[in-house]
Amino acid sequence: MAHKQIRFGTSGWRGIIAEDFTFDNVRAAVAAIGDYVCRQNPRNPRVLVGYDTRFFSDEFARTAVEVLSRRGVHCFLCKQPTPTPTIAYEIRRRKTDGGINFTASHNPPEYNGLKFSTPDGAPALPEVTRQLEQLAAKYLERQDSPARPGEARGHEEIDPRPSYLDMLGEKIVVDEIKRAGLKVVYDPLYGTGAGYVDRFLTGHGIEVHAIHAYRDVLFGGHAPEPAEHILADLRQAMAARGAHLGLSTDGDADRFGMLDRDGRFVSANHIVALLFDYLLETRPHWPRGVARSVATTHLVDAVARHHKATVHETPVGFKYIGELIQQDKIIIGGEESAGLSIYGHVPEKDGILACLLVAEMVGRRQASLLEQLEALFRKVGAYYPVRVNLHLDAAIRDRLAERIRRDPKNFNGRRVAGVNRTDGLKLLFDDDSWVLMRLSGTEPVVRCYCESHSEKDTAALVEAAKKFVLE
């Protein structure tokens, strides 16, 4: 039987269960990780293994423990489904040689995935994942799951939740939430966040109601993504309880989604900018820097100009922001795809942290999210970002790939003031509006990101981007 090649993308390897993501492929990928870890620490290799609430995730995790144990690696196996940021923290706390997490994050239910994190708790960088791909390919060619000679290591089961929640208690100013008397509804979307955001708030005497806080491998019939069109149940629960804030995390709790007190969705772009402004005001001794991906709102830049802070722009992929977190260069780093982390925290996306920081910000400022956003617009200017995914046939994709390699002077009748090739083709205009086009490396899709200073102008940029792609 032919095996599909294992490829690691911006956040691990993902595939359809029983089609791409099979036990044979998992054994090959884990054996590759075992080899890599043993090379880094040949005397006493130790790896943490976790999993989410997806179909077979727990079985994949146990299989990984078996493969690693036979290769002389001691494993710490999480006792229950565990968020990605919790695993990142536990890797660092236990000083392991890395961690494997079986999760497909916010992908639809038919997917599963494997994330490998290095000893710093960060997602493995491309120079590491390329090695893993090459090793896994060799095992798939031989169709075996090799074991190293010598005595197999054992494993122990752990519960990383208490230490992680204790750590969050040192980063969140809980009294600001309590004093405001906030009522919160939380939706983990049947994922690993259940028992984290809700338990943290309840443990500090804050009123919170959780929905979908149990395992459903079908995630209610949709992807476990905290996007506006998926949070209807959260909106309804907020209205029923008169809540001030709706919080949500994705399947592995590394991404976030927010509803304001009237049920309106607030984009991740705007949340990142609001939190940047808030942290600069409330954590004066933290670094005065921010990191954003090339696809993330320039509202962040406007906030930085106002506060005389430094902006670091990265390619898409949180691992690049994580490096800046580890270097203590930034107060916050964020992506438009709803990932963020802060100074002194793990170099990994943390949706749980994001939810709690937003609750603190709303409590301290005594203003709704949209009221705060309007105030920020008055202070630094308005920014309206939009992302659209356009599906392409092969001919259009090839033609677009060629066009993206060029530097256009004009775009839909507008002069191009600058070209940014950090990741894809980003066209900058004189008024600080911009368009970014990125071709997917794994599917026939181009992602178009557009931003301007009014919703009407952004909509016009979106139509121009579609025309550019499809003509």
DSSP string, 67-95: HHHHTT-EEEEESS---HHHHHHHHHHHT
Mean pLDDT of 270-284: 98
E strand or H helix that includes residue 8? none
pLDDT per residue over 89-117, tens digit each? 999 999 999 999 999 999 999 999 999 99
Residues in CB range of 309: below 8 A, 6 or more apart: 280, 288, 289, 290, 303, 331
Please check whether residue 330 is in contact with residue 228, taking contact to mean a CB–CB distance below 8 angstroms. Answer: no
The band of 7, judged by pLDDT with boundaries at 50, 70 and 90, is confident
Average pLDDT (233-246) is 98
Cα of 359 vs its chain's centroid, Å? 19
Contact of 35 with 98, CB cutoff 8 Å: no
Q: What percent of the chain has pLDDT over 90?
A: 86
Helix (H, G, I), strand (E, B) or coil at 29: helix
Residue with tokens 């690693």: 68
* Residue 182 pLDDT > 60: yes
What lies within 8 Å, CB to CB, of 7 at 6+ separation is: 13, 133, 442
Q: Give the tens place of pLDDT for each residue, 356-371.
A: 999 999 999 999 999 9
**Which tokens belong to 274?**
């609001």
Which residue ranges form the domains of the chain, and what is each CATH number?
Answer: 13-160 (3.40.120.10), 172-380 (3.40.120.10), 384-470 (3.30.310.50)
Tell me the whole-structure pTM to 2 decimals.
Answer: 0.95
Q: DSSP code of 231?
A: -
pLDDT at residue 396 in the model: 86
pLDDT of 398 strictly over 50: yes
Whether 51 and 78 have beta carbons less than 8 Å apart is answered as yes
- pLDDT surpasses 60 at 434: yes
Q: How many CA atoms lie within 13 A of 410 on its CB side?
A: 3
- In this structure, the strands spanning 445-452 and 434-439 are antiparallel
Q: What are the C-alpha distances in Å from 145 to residues 38, 136, 137?
A: 16, 10, 12
Contact by Cβ (8 Å): 195, 255: no
Model pLDDT for residues 112-146, shown as the tens digit of each residue: 999 999 999 999 988 999 999 999 998 888 755 55
What is the rounded CA–CA span in Å between residue 117 and residue 348? Answer: 9
Do strands 111-117 and 99-102 pair parallel, antiparallel, or not at all (unpaired)? antiparallel
Taking CA atoms, 82 is separated from 36, 55, 118, 231, 399, in Å, by 24, 14, 17, 22, 43
- In the predicted model, is pLDDT for residue 223 greater than 90? yes
pLDDT score, position 149: 47
How would residue 426 be classed by pLDDT, with cut points 50, 70 and 90? very high
Segment 256-266 shows an average pLDDT of: 98
Query: What confidence score (pLDDT) does residue 1 get?
Result: 46
Say how far apart CA 139 and CA 25 lie, in whole Å: 9
User: Average of pLDDT values for 40-56?
Assistant: 96
